[in-house]
Amino acid sequence: MNGPTPEKVMQIITGGWATSILGAACQHGIFTALEGNPGDTETVAKKTGISTRGAQALLDGLTGLGFLTLSEGRYQNSPDASAFLVKGKPSYLGGMAEVFLQDFATWQNLPEAAKTGLPSARNTVEVADNPFWHVLVPAIAALSFPVAQMAAERLGIANAGAVSWLDVGGGSGVWSAVWLGVNKEATGNQLDWPNVNKIARGFVSTFGVADRFQTIDGDFHTTDFGTEKYNYAIYAHIAHQESPAGNIANFRKFRRALKPGGTLVVNDFVLNDDRTGHPFALLFASQMLVVTKDGFTYRQSDYRNWLTEAGFQSVDIVPTSTPATVVFAS
């Protein structure tokens, strides 16, 4: 057949089905049950505690999505499923699928948000006690692991000696967990809301480095970062929820908090100057529309301009193996 086909349009229209199937499978631990142990429908139903009919529906859907293979009546994880959807692995992304499944109601209001330019979520990301954080914070940690590792290698964290850093809005504490793991003399400090810091302390403790991880309870909009206290600073997946003026103000505080020669690391979904880029980053602009008052997906030129205005002399923008980009400023 020549010319356009409805295939891609139908894939997008039924995208909610795909998210629901994946989220349900992760919630019930289907990939975990199958890891290293291919099984038939009855076996999967028994291991996961779900109905045989439900198991068959999910297994069919997962096979259609390419996350499972079927041979002689037995299902097996695909390489992608094994790498990213088995609970307990550091690379586990299944939590994100569960978060997105719970968030459908917010996205149903996107038409109104697009009309007004105002968030449609009942609880925006600016709300400290939003229960959403308890689900989202650990769920997105896996996305940051390879980025934190890349940044640590680039900065030579392993051999930097008794350095310290400030991670503002650090969430799960994944950056400190990674960096403290490669440098036994370093100290990590995280500034975040009390409820989020509690999550971080539990998360970091699983890596055996909690004795060198300190938390500062507070709102980074109003909390002072200090003056020439840190060798490094981290601002990961926070800039997208702030306004341009808010980011400039935070970058100025970072500049004051860094010791001479210190480096600020910004990790976020960054677009090219012509607003092209990674598909996830392009889609993420709508996420910011529905859950923030001022946030957005910003361009490389925006970060360069803001950091320069805040007093940084050098700005280096580096792509990663994930949808995110890392900006090194000193």
For 180-226, write each residue's pLDDT tens digit: 999 999 999 999 999 999 999 999 999 999 999 999 999 999 999 99
What pTM value is reported for the model? Answer: 0.89
For 129-250, strand residue ranges (E) read 164-168, 187-192, 213-217, 230-236
Dihedral sign (CA 192, 196, 202, 207): negative
Predicted local confidence at residue 2, as pLDDT: 82
**7-102 maps to which CATH number?**
1.10.10.10
Q: Which two tokens stand for residue 260?
A: 């001479």
CATH 1.10.10.10 residue ranges of the chain are 7-102
CATH 3.40.50.150 residue ranges of the chain are 132-329
- Beta strand pairing call for 325-329 and 258-268: antiparallel
- Beta strand pairing call for 230-236 and 258-268: parallel
Predicted local confidence at residue 169, as pLDDT: 95
Q: What is the helix, strand, coil percentage profile of the chain, to 5?
A: 50, 15, 35
What number of H helices and E strands is found in the chain? 16, 9
Predicted local confidence at residue 125, as pLDDT: 52
Dihedral sign (CA 140, 143, 145, 147): negative
Predicted local confidence at residue 131, as pLDDT: 54
Predicted local confidence at residue 134, as pLDDT: 60
Query: Do the Cβ atoms of 58 and 30 come closer than 8 Å?
Result: yes
Choices 3.30.499.10, 1.20.140.10, 3.40.30.10, 3.40.50.150: CATH for 132-329: 3.40.50.150
Predicted local confidence at residue 4, as pLDDT: 92
Predicted local confidence at residue 104, as pLDDT: 87
Q: How far is CA 187 from CA 33, 144, 212, 227, in A?
A: 38, 19, 5, 17
pLDDT in tens, 35-50: 999 999 999 999 999 9
Predicted local confidence at residue 309, as pLDDT: 98
Backbone angles phi, psi at 276, to 5 degrees: -100, 175
- Residue partners of 264: CB distance under 8 A and separation at least 6: 232, 233, 234, 235, 251, 254, 255, 258, 307, 312, 327, 328, 329, 330
| Grouped pLDDT means (10 residues each) for the chain, 330 residues | 87 93 97 97 98 98 97 97 94 89 88 92 56 65 92 98 97 96 98 94 95 97 97 97 97 98 98 96 94 95 98 97 96
How many CB atoms lie under 10 A from the CB of residue 161? 9
